[in-house]
Chain A
Amino acid sequence: MSDRTQPTIYPETQFYWEGAKQGKLLLNACTPCGNKPFFPPRPFCPHCGSREVTVMQASGRGALHSFVISHLPAPGYEPPFTVAVVMLEEGVKMLTNIMNCPPDPDHLELDMPLELTFETRGDLKIPQFQPAKGGAA
């Protein structure tokens, strides 16, 4: 796992990775847009351009929006592995792998509930998702 690529972290995204270290998935949200969250983080709203943004903690619940099962190499990954997009309960999409789930289409059904988990990678915790244990999201 440790030879997986580490993200390059920039000043605007530091809070996101600090939050992840504490087991939180943090999103920016826009105040004028009614606290609408967006992704990836930036200090202004991509919908209206306002700089009035806050940091909110995502619930960690989401659903499998789409995926592929990659048979191609990637540092630290053992092909085949799943690359997926999770639709968070908050209405934003992000990339993830599907942890604790075989890379097999029979185990991956679109819209199945997913829950947040973390993968330790060096000093960092990488937000990841796995099939929800508690059933429906």
Chain B
Amino acid sequence: MSKAAIAIVGAAETTRMGKVPELSQTGLHADAALNAMAECGLTPADIDGIATAGHDAAEIAQYLGITPTWLDSTSVGGCSFILHVRHAAAAIATGLCKTVLITHGESGRSNNRAHRPLFPSMQQQEFESIYGPLFPPARFTLPVMRKMKDDGLTIEQLAMVAVVQREWAAFHPRATSHDPLTLDDVLSSKMIAWPFTKLMCCLVSDGGGALILTSAERAKDFPTKPVYLRGMGGESCEGPMISQMEDFTTSKAFRVSGKAAFESAGILHSDVDHLMLYDAFAHLPVYGLEDLGFVGKGEGGAFIAEGRTRPGAELPLNTNGGGLSYMHSGMYGMFALQEGVRQMRGTSPAQVKDAKLSVVHGVGGMFSGAATAVLTSEDQW
């Protein structure tokens, strides 16, 4: 029997999402942080560890009036917050701090920010940007034609990712897009980067989220239902040059991170009740299902297209509607975590009945980084 060591005791999104022109990016961080602190009865004076990405953790600490003894500004793309969960767990376990606040805020739509959270990569700029793939839809999608030829993935299967996730979004009053989609709607939407149409690409939103972590022992003193970490999760990277991905049909970073998380948690795929796979674009859940081992290589597209991840089916996936339908601020990983926490608390508008184990897996940059967390409602296993 293993006992949980670390718990998430606070989890909240910004008060509003989508279009939030009245707040700066710093303000979105703070709004989410204040919401998370309020729900678990804390004030900034109670926080001694802080982590964020795409923004300087020191600025967020100063803005909120926090004096930390532990900081983490690890910023490897949208999955960074999942890495922060892992790093925070290690910091709490080793006594570096007791109560960690992880914040995300991004003015992705209104652009109320000093700078875009770029991830400077000298070689990527020297050898890739010069050929014109300046925006993620023309870069993140580059491996997909290879996967279609080698693994039999089809454009219709990719489009079905958007269709199925919209079914989940329909449960969420806070999701940006609720209206049902047909395969035809997705295929006939505006061409962005062939073969990707607009509805296979993520939304562009304002918003943020925050998490508060502490030891499982202290978690019982909080008013919220604790969500525990099972194992220490996983993280890895392959690097920002998408042309240098070892194999275009599989993400090495996904495989390394996923394997570490599953081994550390001591779980089998059949134990997983709920799954979040960061979907900046429709192909990512396909790679995620395969690289985390939920299906065999080349089977991810058909698995989703056959409806096996839709509401009521065997593997509830991206139950908030994902980056395609719920919201996508730019660094969406925080929102995948928030839905994982809601599912483990039993409070998701698209609640999976009796769900006890959730895997949250994210991508950073464009197949550059990856991180995986295993969440559970149980304090021992």
Residue of A nearest to B139 (CB): A83
Partner of B248, one of A13, A65, A83: A65
- B4-12, B97-105, B127-135, B329-337: which one contacts chain A? B127-135
Cβ of B196: which chain A residues have Cβ within 8 Å of it?
A: 68
Scan B296-332; emit 1 where CB is below 8 A from any A CB, else 0: 0000000000000000000000000000000000000
Cβ of A110: which chain B residues have Cβ within 8 Å of it?
A: 145-146, 149
Please, how many residues of chain B have a CB less than 8 angstroms from a CB on the other chain? 34
Q: Is the CB of B126 within 8 A of A9?
A: yes
Partner of A83, one of B122, B131, B144: B131
Scan B279-294; emit 1 where CB is below 8 A from any A CB, else 0: 0000000000000000
A83 touching B130 in the complex, CB below 8 Å, given contacts A66-B248, A71-B191: no
Partner of B194, one of A10, A80, A85, A96: A80
Cβ of A13: which chain B residues have Cβ within 8 Å of it?
A: 126
B110-143 residues with Cβ-Cβ distance < 8 A to A are 122-123, 125-135, 137-139, 141-143
Q: Is the CB of B132 within 8 A of A74?
A: yes
| Interface presence of B241 (CB below 8 A) | yes
Cβ of B131: which chain A residues have Cβ within 8 Å of it?
A: 83, 95-97
Q: Is the CB of A85 within 8 A of B142?
A: yes
Q: Is the CB of A97 within 8 A of B132?
A: yes
Residue of B nearest to A86 (CB): B243
Minimum C-beta distance from A10 to chain B (A) = 7
Residue of A nearest to B191 (CB): A71
Cβ of A69: which chain B residues have Cβ within 8 Å of it?
A: 191, 193-194
| Interface presence of B192 (CB below 8 A) | yes
Chain A contact residues, CB within 8 Å of chain B: 4-10, 13, 39-40, 65-74, 77, 80-81, 83, 85, 93-97, 105, 110-111, 121, 126
Given contacts A66-B144, A70-B132, A70-B137, 16 further A-B contacts (CB under 8 A): A8-B122, A8-B125, A13-B126, A39-B127, A68-B144, A68-B194, A69-B194, A71-B190, A71-B194, A72-B138, A77-B132, A80-B191, A81-B132, A85-B248, A97-B132, A111-B149
